[in-house]
Amino acid sequence: MAKIVMLDSGHGGIDPGAIGPSGVREKDITLAVAKRVANILSPVVDVRLTRDSDTSYSHVTSTDLSIRARLANQAGADCFVSIHCNSATNNTAVGTETYHYPGSTLGNTLAKAVHTCVIPALGRVDRGIKTANFAVLRETDMPACLVEMAFISNPEEEALLGSAAFQETAAMAIAQGIANYLGVQLLEPVEPGTVRIIVDGQVLTGLLIDDRSYAPVRALAEALGRTVEWNEKTKTVKII
């Protein structure tokens, strides 16, 4: 049974979250990153999203947050990771921090797993692992953490958060942290022009030419429990 991860992209719909000095909205960044995390994890983990579009569950924030936690509880998720951008009135505040619920040992383990991947990847100031009585951390039944990737209120970090490269880096790191916590192995990214072929859990590499995938026939046949006969004279491969 695949592990279930509930990814929560902070805010959404009527709640934009924090808005940067040049107008970048937190809800857009958190959704973009959560979707990227989902893409990276989905081959090896059962990924659920609290939202996959620009929506909210209620105009009452506490209700919206409770519904997100309930979705994770009903899914029987193995962990819950909420993705946010930080904000402060002082626009010089910068860096990355990760929260878990006070006294939650597994929450701390999860937060640590995510934080230790995100810090070197993003290269921002390490503000540390902290505890907070946030609703999504309090009301979720499973280990939960909330990562504040960077400060949208800081012009430099706002620009980073808005860039696809930073979002992808953050997503890779968050996904790696979750994978480490769950003890699952992420698939390596494929080289350009190649495809990954998974046969009963065995991973083969094939070629992608004109939108058609080509598999190494012997490896494929053997993965399917068959053998291959090669006739050099007629250049014929027989799968038997």
Residue nearest Zn ion (C-beta atom): 84
Contact 50, 9 (CB under 8 A): yes
CB of 16 to Zn ion, least distance (A): 10
Shorter beta-carbon distance to Zn ion: residue 36 or 84: 84
Binding of Zn ion by 20 (CB under 5 A)? no
Binding of Zn ion by 17 (CB under 5 A)? yes
CB of 26 to Zn ion, least distance (A): 5
For Zn ion, the binding residue among 84, 100, 115, 124 (CB under 5 A) is 84
3-state SS assignment for residue 12: strand
Shorter beta-carbon distance to Zn ion: residue 10 or 107: 10
For Zn ion, the binding residue among 3, 6, 7, 10 (CB under 5 A) is 10
Alpha carbon separation from 76 to 47, 73, 153 (Å, rounded): 12, 5, 35
Shorter beta-carbon distance to Zn ion: residue 67 or 199: 67
Q: Where are the alpha helices (DSSP H) in 43-162?
A: 61-75, 105-122, 135-138, 155-161
Nearby residues of 5 by Cβ (< 8 Å), 6 or more positions away: 41, 45, 46, 47, 48, 77, 78, 79, 80, 81, 178, 182
Q: Which of the stretches 13-21, 99-107, 124-132, 133-141 binds Zn ion when contact is defined by CB under 5 A?
A: 13-21
Binding of Zn ion by 162 (CB under 5 A)? no
Shorter beta-carbon distance to Zn ion: residue 153 or 180: 153
Shorter beta-carbon distance to Zn ion: residue 132 or 239: 132
CB of 106 to Zn ion, least distance (A): 23
Nearby residues of 107 by Cβ (< 8 Å), 6 or more positions away: 100, 101, 137, 143, 144, 145
Residues in contact with Zn ion, counted by CB under 5 A, come to a total of 3
Residues classed as catalytic: 148
| The dihedral sign for the CA sequence 20, 25, 27, 33 | negative
**Residue 49 burial (10 A CB sphere; 0-12, 13-18, 19+):** middle
- The residues binding Zn ion (CB under 5 A) are 10, 17, 84
